[in-house]
Amino acid sequence: MAPEFLVTPGLLDAISPSVDRGGMVLGCGPQDEPLSVSVLRPLPTRLVLVGGLYLARQVALRAMATGAWVVIATGRPDGWQQLVRAAGESPNGRPAPLVQVHRLAPLELPRAFQDAPLLVVHDGGAVPQELFPPRSPWQTTLYVLPYLHPQAEGTAVNADLVLLQRLLGGQAQLAARMWRLPAPMATQLAELTDDSVVALGPNLWLPLRLVTTPAEREILGPVRRGD
């Protein structure tokens, strides 16, 4: 039986989940059409995010709103307390187990199910250790990289999906080498606005503009590139 959990009405109102069970509306396209990405899937999934903590928290918040458990391993636990508060409390007054924040160390993870998928957030710097590789269906591991580092190439290029915010300096050229991108794409990465993201994957290059709902802004603040 899938585990049960309680969430606050405000969290449920934060986003409107897409029809696709594993799809997550992340932003909109040039004509303001909603664009979704497959984050929670019936396959072990690796997701890499290169950019600020704001986007990582937004992805985690939307995963929560679609019914996912979120386990966060981080060296900066204070940066994730908004999600703990957003998840609310259990009937006993303790924080709801829907969101768990831990230090950067191996731990036993909840079992993932179709009705209760699992998002594991690894917020451990630009060169992450492989602490929580996705091993089961409906488990996604999100690696939060503040910037691209050559030693993180294996993590980055082997991901099923990469979300790239604006890359500064030689970062765009490093991305071009890692993913063998043509020069115009590297230039686009260097010129992204603060509310823009490129979703990159096998046969995928999807520029989009982040959209934050009023309920999300109450939790996370306005859209921004940084932390």
- Condensed to tens digits (0 to 9), the pLDDT of residues 86-130 reads 887 767 767 667 899 999 998 899 899 998 999 999 999 999 988
Whether residue 3 has pLDDT greater than 50: no
* CATH number of the CATH domain containing 96: 3.40.50.300
Residue 48: partners with Cβ closer than 8 Å, 6 or more residues away: 142, 143, 145, 155, 156, 159, 161, 162, 163
Q: 109: domain range? A: 9-217
Q: Above 70 in pLDDT, residue 72?
A: yes
pLDDT reading at 190 higher than 90: yes
Q: Which of 73-77, 78-82, 85-89 has the lowest mean pLDDT?
A: 85-89
Q: How confident is the model at residue 48 (pLDDT cuts 50, 70, 90)?
A: very high
Q: Does residue 225 lie within any of the structural domains? A: no
CA triple 23-25-31, angle to 5 deg = 130
Give the chain's domain count: 1
pLDDT at residue 137 tops 70: yes
Q: Does 22 have pLDDT greater than 80?
A: no
- Does residue 37 lie in a domain region? yes
Predicted pLDDT at 122:
96
Helices (H), 66-121: 81-87
Statement: residue 175 has pLDDT above 50: yes
Closest Cα partner for 5 from 72, 67, 59, 94? 67
Rounded-to-integer distance, Cα 122 and Cα 114, Å: 22
Report if residue 33 sits inside a domain: yes
Q: Is the pLDDT of residue 11 over 50?
A: no
What pLDDT was estimated at residue 180?
95
**83 in any annotated domain:** yes
128 domain residue, yes or no: yes
Residue 106 lies in a domain: yes
What is the pLDDT, as a whole number, of residue 20?
A: 46
Contact 194, 209 (CB under 8 A): no
pLDDT of residue 6: 41
Q: 157 with 164: CB under 8 angstroms?
A: no
Residue 34 placed within a domain:
yes
Name the pLDDT band for 207 (thresholds 50, 70, 90). Answer: very high
Q: Please determine, for residue 208, whether its predicted confidence score (pLDDT) is greater than 60.
A: yes
Does residue 104 fall inside a structural domain? Answer: yes
